[in-house]
Structure 1
Amino acid sequence: MNKRTCLYDKHVALGALIQPFGGFDMPIQYTNIIDEHKAVREHVGVFDVSHMGEIIISGHDAPRFVNHIFTNDVTKMKPGDVMYGMMCYEDGGTVDDTCVDMLEPNRYFMTVNAANVDKDSEWVHKQAEKFDVVVCYKSDWWNQLAIQGPEAEKTVTEVLHLPVSDLKFYQCKEVLRFDDSVIVSRTGYTGEDGFEVYGDKEYIRDAWDRLMRAGVKPCGLGCRDTLRFEVGLPLYGDELSKDISPIMAGLGHFVDFDKPEFIGREALLKQKTEGVAKRLRGIQLDDHAVPRHGYKVLRDGKEVGEVTTGYRLISADKSCAVALVDSSLKLGDRVEIQIRKKTFPGTIVKKRFVDTHYKKD
């Protein structure tokens, strides 16, 4: 039986389409994906992302341990910073991608993907055996809302009364509410300005009700995927996996090779210096056909890769895909995608199909 978030009954009451995702029964859409997608791009929307996992790492060796399991360099962080990166296997394959919040000098808050919670927890626990750290798995306590869109700051400030105007992109703060902590970060998965708010079940249920009364659009995981895809953000299991490394995924800028040591460093450095056989590329089709995960990519009739994600974009009038293809393919090269018994021509382009609107100032 799938798990349910603390907001499940509220999703049902709103008439949401519920489907399994990452071991949870989650809302896929409320009205329709297009309306919800546009609400985030143009105004503000809220997602229940309480299915995500949370791990707190603290103790004397916490900075050294997090650096050991994380591709980015947390020694460059200060309290209140958030950093994105990956956890990798020794061969460079991806355990998961994750955001790390530095709450205090020796205390880190890590968010992991819902489908990977058990695997990640087991992997982190094993790596921690030789370090003086305390690893707490808090996914059952923490719940999460993502408030996203150009009106997100106004909404979080006026509706939830959280002081966030001072937060810059990829910064966080811990706020005390009724003797419990609320963590809020200026992060998201949509390409728009936005915030992710973590709290206990009572707080998150109350926050959801406040947002609904204020007329904020509830959004399901359907448009969460269309939004992240348009701006080139990866989904674990599609654009990252044990077989797709950060280098193959074009995420090498989140791998800090100036660090002398981290799990997977030698394998990733070899990939960076010697190259990889396959890498992720964007493809824009000439036609309105819609490519899907697993469809073959061809060049001159020869298979050169396959689609990881594809959509007819909602924010732009074009059909696009991200595909794992031969690394010899360059921007501007012509390819075809096989959709059932036909092939549709397209061009290799950058993976970010729509501009982002983060607040970086």
Structure 2
Amino acid sequence: MSVLFSPIQLRGLKLPNRVMVAPMCQYSAVNGEANDWHFTHINTLALSGAAMFCIEATHVEAIGRITPGCLGLWNDATEAALRPIIASVRKHSKVAVAMQLAHAGRKGSSHVPWDGGQQIPLADGGWQTEAPSAVPHKESELAPLTLDTPGLARVRDAFVAAAKRAERLGLDAIELHSAHGYLLHQFLSPISNQRTDQYGGSLQNRMRYPLEVFDAVRAAFPENKPVGVKLSATDWVESGWDLTQTIEYVKELKKRGVDWIDASSGGVSPLQKIPLSPGYQVPFAQAIKEATGVTTMAVGLITEAKQAEEIVASGKADMVALARGMLYDPRWGWHAAAELGGQVEAPPQYWRSQPSTQKALFGETKFGAR
């Protein structure tokens, strides 16, 4: 029996398998509002066979966007734009729908990747970013403003407001983005956090604000629905954030009831040196799981069904999250289930698609025609 296609419980949410479609920025929103691109993208991958789909980094305020094309959930218009998309998913799929709440901090005001991804100057329509400290991501960039006490409260409250909007949309789970060099990661890393107040310096102080945001979001979201955290387990830079500090952070999150850790890495410095290879981040998920007992998701260059099966069957992680692999093969879950002997949910319109050798892929389906 496939472990990848066995159920798992996340608080009150029971998932039929251990595959999640990872949140993937589409850089295609207008004023933070989802549109027909998101409708197609989300509805397509809601039928991937994964048990959970996580909506891309959804920014809690306009200046918290990475690019002008990033998705948001900070006002009634951004909330309303997502509503028909979620309704369509619910009509045609049983997938659980999560959302990653995010704030880019000093990495905001950037061009979309296919236009180079560099910072947009203020004169060209960019905006003044904010961060833990007035330290730019790259030396050539405009420095961010240091978040003061009212600013910290404003951003925290924006995360809370977005969580409440996510609940109004009927979403099943939230993932807080504390990775890839964005705002919450910027507080954690000594590379980007050079504060001298209670939010900087020691590990305890650097963790303080991300933990305050988690506490506030957890309190605002229904008790029976899970809240997870995506984090970078290392900066891949000497004297930066590392796995030892990550484990201490996860221990604190565990005390606060975190439901999963999505273990990624990097993003806070252009000096990073990442040794890319298939499954290169899996050891981070394994180390976190072994040290804390928290449910973990492995991410990063996981593309093959047997590779994903080995990760969960060996106990290195409890789930896997796929991004590029899902874009390349939007039925990845179907194909993995067929290879591993699992079953997936599929709409009846597609039942006839299963090969004659895979009669049990969609369960015991019956499809007659006159």
TM-score (norm: length of structure 2): 0.28
More strand by share: 1
More helix by share: 2
TM-score (norm: length of structure 1): 0.29
